[in-house]
Chains A and B, each alone.
Chain A
């Protein structure tokens, strides 16, 4: 039943917010819904740890440790985003960012807020469905649905540039996902030829994984390539990453954070499920090599763009391409270490990225620009919390100790050196280049003499989400709660053993 409630609550919260119309009510519905979802996700995690996989309706919905981890991360990101969104959109409404001609039109504000508060729960619903659907076809439908919902959230501000970003996002995502659908059809075809899998269950992951060794090898090879291209597009792996900087920089900050920390995980989740099938069918070698090539390419592509970046919102997007690359690389290195590193990294990244987006959003709203050039420097004087937060987030996300991403990247690199020197050395040098480029940009933005700007941090919603996330990051650097770690370990076991 817990699975049903997890899906039902966000699905109902969207239309509810749509009909309530008034801002405080819509905010309350969103906050309450995501708080309940977060509690349910935690409960699901504990249940899976104690008594194994949970399923509902003949295995139509299915949650093992891997799904439970993704659900937990998605629910956490959704909750912090909804807290931040309250402050963010109130600021937008107050300073009439919604309409460019600066007239205070209350109707436009209500329209925009309704759009966000009713679509955000549906967006979260589709992401949760990705993790909970057992059927690989439904998984595809859910990922496509999350794209379609988020296209409207990307066009939120209605600027020319946001239209451009949304168009690229929708078209590139559409082509990518049609490849993924082709891969799914081929997987179904491979399963179809085994006795007793000609029904709906023939696409269920839990059924497929038991028969994986008997699947047709030629078909699975082609299917995996198509899936990698398809879900790779959605995860923003190079060279299919071009929509990412545009969508991340044009979307409202809470949406960008959900794209970077929610959709990314969901797309990788789809890829991981198919990778497990392919590895059982063809042996791990075939998938690994492809994944390592694409992972290194994504990290390499991100380097020059981070070094010469002009806008801090786009900087975060390239960092996200880099991290998608790291996670794909970890999956490719495989083995117990690679898989453990992958899920540690996914967890820590999903906590750190929202902090960076929130601080960047605060700075953007205060300075009314996202360009380094116009934002001057010394932001730590006028915005101590956001300034400190973005600096801390930068150190964490580039993998410097003592923060937890250092641990996960270290684990992944150990797995890398186990496989050969070339990919390991390449990834170390990319990591170093990204670390230095990122840190130079952000320290120029945050540190420096006081330019004498008025203090700009009064909103308690924005401040509390930044402080809360920063606390979580610091604590996780030193201490991972035992249940969370065993959930991550069991998820890694699923990748290694395949059940």
Chain B
């Protein structure tokens, strides 16, 4: 059982989970069903919480456990539940055709991942890398890719709820960046950020619901009466 304490093992695990997070994000780009998209987001948040736990374990960063727990409870359980309930109440379950078709979208996501790796390269400081502090640094590229692909999802999709999911996965990217660069922000800030994210999703959920009720559709492309 000693292999658990080996930083090398931790590193492998983190890389594996970060890869899964990235795969889920790219899969979201091509996904049409709203419920499936929400579940994929929940799974992604679960892996994120596991990464946070692993980093906390190897760096003895106690406050990261709290952040990991919050991610697990809020982002992997509460938020998906709230969003699924909104989908049920509005009764719209399929995304309409995105602006850019699926193969091209996947290609663009691939390019964005490449951009993420190039940007992350400039943060790599090999001179100060001991095996332990290097833990998680390789996930920065994944974090930046998540952020960029989340932004792309928001531009590409027109349903109110998928835009919210895009915003949430950008937020996931930020969380991953924070834990991989600095083992998380100070706890007070982290709590504030979590609080804001929860409230933001509730606000956007209520708005999406009311848009669905008022316009008989969650297509934000129909919101175009205010001009000039």
Contact = CB atoms under 8 A, between A and B. Distances in A.
A160 interface: yes
Contact of A203 (B123, B151, B189): B189
B101 interface: no
Given A152-B203, A175-B167, A185-B174, A164 B182 contact: no
Interface in B199-228: 199-200, 203-204, 207, 210-211, 214-215, 220, 223-226, 228
A171 interface: yes
Nearest to B189: A137
Contacts of A171: 154, 163, 167, 204
B185 interface: yes
A167 B221 CA distance: 12
Contacts of A308: 228
B207 A138 contact: no
A135 B199 contact: no
Q: Which of A138, A168, A181, A200 has the most CB of B within 10 A?
A: A181
Nearest to A147: B200
Contacts of A314: 228
A152 B204 CA distance: 10
B189 A167 contact: no
B104 interface: no
Contacts of B123: 189, 218-219
A272 B186 CA distance: 23
Given A185-B185, A188-B182, A164 B225 contact: yes
B186 A203 contact: yes
A164 B226 contact: yes
A148 interface: yes
Interface string B152-171: 00100000100100010011
Interface string B30-57: 0000000000000000000000000000
A219 B119 CA distance: 11
Interface in A192-210: 192-193, 199-200, 202-203
B122 interface: yes
Contacts of B224: 164
A185 B181 contact: yes
A192 B196 CA distance: 24
A189 B186 CA distance: 12
B115 to A, nearest CB: 13
A246 B228 CA distance: 9
Given A175-B151, A185-B182, 19 more contacts: A138-B189, A141-B189, A141-B192, A141-B193, A144-B196, A155-B210, A160-B215, A160-B225, A163-B210, A166-B207, A167-B223, A174-B167, A185-B177, A185-B185, A188-B182, A189-B181, A200-B188, A203-B189, A218-B122
15 contacts: A137-B185, A145-B196, A148-B199, A151-B203, A155-B210, A163-B214, A164-B225, A167-B211, A167-B220, A168-B223, A175-B167, A182-B174, A188-B178, A189-B182, A314-B228
Shortest beta-carbon contacts, A-B, top 5: A137-B189, A141-B192, A200-B186, A164-B223, A189-B181
